[in-house]
Amino acid sequence: MIFDTHAHYDDEAFDEDRDSLIASLKDNGITRVVNVGADLKGSRASVELADKYDFIYAAIGAHPDNANEIDDTGIATLKELSKNKKVVAIGEIGLDYYWNKDNAEDQKEAFSRQIDLARELALPIIIHSRDAAKDTMDILKEQDAGKVGGVMHCFSYSTEIAREVVDMGLYIGVGGVVTFKNGKKLREALLEVPLEKIILETDCPYLAPEPHRGSRNSSLNLPYVVKAISEIKGVSVEEVMKTTYNNACRMYRINNEE
């Protein structure tokens, strides 16, 4: 059993075969998926997918690219969506200076407002952070985000930051990058992260692991990520699947019974 903690099955890349692909997941050992909203439309779509499939849960929020959606109306919309019982997190939220640094102040405000919302709703957060380590860590500390709980998804920073994130009580999300030739920095950081703090994710349709790098990703590729982690940590693939599954259930506060 594998828990994909971060997928975007609402993406148009799945328009042709969404239902048949999702229907095939359970038979392939993917028994839980959290579909993550990147904007308000995606958040609504995530809730719809969670309503349709028993093993899919939803995260709702606006990615830093869509920080402008997080005004009073945006927050009210997220609050309304959160009433659905299968909403298990606020995300993905955070800072991304790789694509756009001009609106850094807007990104920070949207990030903080959504952490406040998560605290109010007693939901963990899914953090997206790219080329913005310092500002992200500053906000997480200021907000005492360890108490809110959550994950730094698609972790891309140094070993030192990984330690800080784990010490705060947050999880590290690991996906296809761990299999990439240029994923050495991540593999090194994972040596320092206890398996009890790692969760699996695809971020599909993006970031397909080797040997499928560059093609459309899906939860079906997670065994490649499991294998890479088992090699780094020196434990069996069964142990990686079981521990990361339990970690994800603990983080999302859902029971771990099948």
Tell me if 251 sits within 8 A of 212, measured CB to CB.
no
Task: Report 176-205 residues binding Ni ion (CB under 5 A).
Answer: 203
Token reading at 151: 């994950």
Closer CB to Ni ion, 18 or 233, in the complex: 18
Residue closest to Ni ion (Cβ) = 203
In the bound complex, what is the minimum distance in angstroms from residue 100's beta carbon to Ni ion? 16
Regarding 39 and contact with Ni ion (CB under 5 A), the answer is no
Q: How far is the CB of 34 from Ni ion (least distance, A)?
A: 11
Contact status, residue 143 vs residue 170, Cβ threshold 8 Å:
no
Q: Measured from the CB of residue 128, what is the shortest distance to Ni ion in angstroms?
A: 6
C-alpha dist (Å) from residue 205 to 36, 52, 174, 217: 12, 20, 15, 5
- Give the bridge partners for 7, in sequence order: 35, 204
Of 96 and 203, CB closest to Ni ion = 203
CB proximity list for 84: less than 8 A, separation 6 or greater: 47, 50, 51, 58
Binding positions for Ni ion, 202-231, rule CB under 5 A: 203
Sign for the pseudo-dihedral over CA of 75, 199, 245, 6: positive
Specify the residue, 11 or 210, whose C-beta has the smaller distance to Ni ion. Answer: 11
Q: Which is nearer to Ni ion, 173 or 183 (CB)?
A: 173
Q: Looking at beta carbons only, is 67 or 255 nearer to Ni ion?
A: 67
Shortest distance, CB of residue 57 to Ni ion, whole angstroms? Answer: 15
- Cβ contacts of residue 238 below 8 Å, gap of 6+? none
Where do contacts with Ni ion occur on this chain (CB under 5 A)? 203
